[in-house]
Amino acid sequence: MSRLVVCPTPIGNLEDITLRVLTALRDADVVACEDTRHTQGLLKRHGISATLISYHEHNERARAGELVERMQAGATVALVSDAGMPLVNDPGYDLVQATIAAGLTVEVLPGPSATITALVASGLPNDVWRFAGFLPRKAGPLREVFTAPETVVAFESPRRVGASLKILAELDPERPAAVCRELTKLHEEIVRGSAQELAAKYAGEDPRGEIVLVVGGAPELTGLDPKAVAAVKLLVDAGARSKTAAKVVSELTGAPSNELYRALLT
């Protein structure tokens, strides 16, 4: 039966692939993948021969139409990314949308996910959480992400993890977090601690490999005098820097400067 089969692939260890995914890749008429060389290595590891076609962020719109036409002609298409579940910060959205619009079947198989693996490994609350994709590079939007009341899971560049943790520590030095590196690979590492501890560790260190950062939810702001918060906002509106305004009002009122600072972002 013609359909699109979304197939999650290993995030590191090539053994982390389900029997259903292997069957789907073996039976597909064509496998759409980010990097044909990368996928060819995975298929070779499991003794599978398949017809591959490139499907990545630079050609996904054009390829989506082509692949839908193939399915309309009776083909089964398997969609993979280089690692993990397609569409989750990877190409595939346009193809899924086009397949649905054409009235064709979309079958999604379960499998490896760096976000879920990191969330569980972090030891942080996972009853309510949010995925932030790749963390913003600009400080303002990054601070907004870190004020979320639920646990946040995000991807981060090894070159920027220290800077991001520094901003988190400025907001809330005691916030629990975990840096999850090279998940499922030979050099897997999970480093847990407070924002202050992790910021100090990675201040002069650029960890190697792929990073997933998990951050505990921001605590509720309690006990802040509304007048103190208003005073901070007035100073900022008058041209003062946010951190300077929070520090000045903290010294005058005794309210924690980090909470006053976070109050500006909520």
- The enclosing domain of 76 has a CATH number of 3.40.1010.10
Residues 146 and 169 in one domain: yes
Residues 179 and 155 in one domain: yes
Residues 51 and 34 in one domain: yes
Residues 168 and 100 in one domain: no
Question: Residue 29: which domain range?
Answer: 3-108
Residues 205 and 236 in one domain: no
CATH number at residue 169: 3.30.950.10
- Domain assignment present for residue 199? The answer is yes
Residues 128 and 191 in one domain: yes
Average pLDDT, rounded, for the chain: 92
Condensed to tens digits (0 to 9), the pLDDT of residues 199-215 reads 999 998 889 999 999 99
pLDDT band (50, 70, 90) for residue 221:
low
Residues 129 and 174 in one domain: yes
- Domain assignment present for residue 78? The answer is yes
d(CA 240, CA 262): 16
Residues 98 and 170 in one domain: no
pLDDT band (50, 70, 90) for residue 257:
confident
Q: What is the pLDDT of residue 219?
A: 84
Final residue in a domain of this structure, among 46, 74, 108: 108
Residues 143 and 165 in one domain: yes
Q: What is the pLDDT of residue 206?
A: 81
Q: What is the pLDDT of residue 265?
A: 67
pLDDT band (50, 70, 90) for residue 181:
very high
- Domain assignment present for residue 220? The answer is no
Q: What is the pLDDT of residue 97?
A: 97
Which residue type occupies 100?
A: I
pTM: 0.83
- Domain assignment present for residue 210? The answer is yes
- Domain assignment present for residue 221? The answer is no
d(CA 119, CA 152): 9
Residues 139 and 209 in one domain: yes
Count of the separate structural domains present in the chain = 3
pLDDT band (50, 70, 90) for residue 266:
low
Final residue in a domain of this structure, among 108, 141, 164: 108
Residues 73 and 166 in one domain: no
Residues 67 and 127 in one domain: no
With helix as H, strand as E and coil as C, how does the chain read? CCEEEECCECCCCCCCCCHHHHHHHHHCCEEEECCHHHHHHHHHHCCCCCCEEECCCCCHHHHHHHHHHHHHCCCEEEECCCCECCCCCCCCHHHHHHHHHCCCCEEECCCCCHHHHHHHHHCCCCCCEEEEEECCCCHHHHHHHHCCCCEEEEEECCCCHHHHHHHHHHHCCCCEEEEEECCCCCCCEEEEEEHHHHHHHCCCCCCCCCEEEEECCCCCCCCCCHHHHHHHHHHHHCCCCHHHHHHHHHHHHCCCHHHHHHHCCC
